[in-house]
Structure 1
């Protein structure tokens, strides 16, 4: 009886091993940012086993996991990303995004995650909404060429058109979150401007009375 029991347990364990092995997949994947830039040395963690593998110089990784498993991708300077494993997938793709933290771009580069540095910087600028205003000589020059629907009158920027009242129609100016006056515009170098937003209508309601004539919001390069 004892021998039969041992044989049965051995057979059962062998069956469980083979069944588990049959459910295991060897998968290949790639981790990128901006759809084309490989992310190097990113940690890819298999959720079911906690095994960790790293992406190579092409952003490629290989690992064993279960069907319908999840892979957690972690890299400094990027948001955590989850890849869902599917049995019929030929290649898994992890599309990372830069984390919304100060100097995320620099962190990613300094940690060795990016080899295509120039292309990465160029795309980071494009996707962040930053524009290159270095070809202009002054802020007012930018307004005249990039925002032709706005008016410039007596050195002031008018968004909604001149008011029929005696009060000023000039838009308010915000630089890096601080409301300021027009004299500050002469101190801004076009090469140091990352983004210009024209805020008007209901969007300007957050500024209260000061947003009545709209707001020119300027973000400089940190």
Structure 2
């Protein structure tokens, strides 16, 4: 009798566990719709503005009223609006239902080739590990440098101020070294980058694998190179 009860209990627990993970998996797949308006410095709507999610171009463009609507995954970090005549604006995404953009008076034309060099690409293109932020407005939408890193580089995760570069090393032993990547600011090693303001950043390069061997044992967990604007 006790054995039968144990079997029934085991089946019950398996069903509950399976339902829990199924629910969790479904939540991760949830896609929501967001809307927004893109305008110029004079508050005029901009037509034909491309919308990018995490530096990847979507099929969505603004209509004649500057309005756009698209579906977005909950793990999206950055939304950008690109206009060849006005440049690009990027904003951190935190689950808002409406994200609008307004270009400033110093907005400048930006060719798509330049956009590609800055790390923005088409859905089938794989971007490089270096991203230039020159000409990019709206970086103050990121709360800090860590949110900028995690939002722009898909392989970078941040917990507090702890940075992890996915695939930086396959070693399970740290040989006495910290598991943090080597942080270089204008080629000078830094232990703490918390004071760096996102709008001060000129470019960021994430290096991992064999390319990081140049930096010796300290680069075994990858390298984050940050160049600041003058």
| TM-score past 0.5 threshold | no
TM-score by length of 1: 0.39
TM-score by length of 2: 0.38
Which of the two has higher C-alpha Rg? Answer: 1
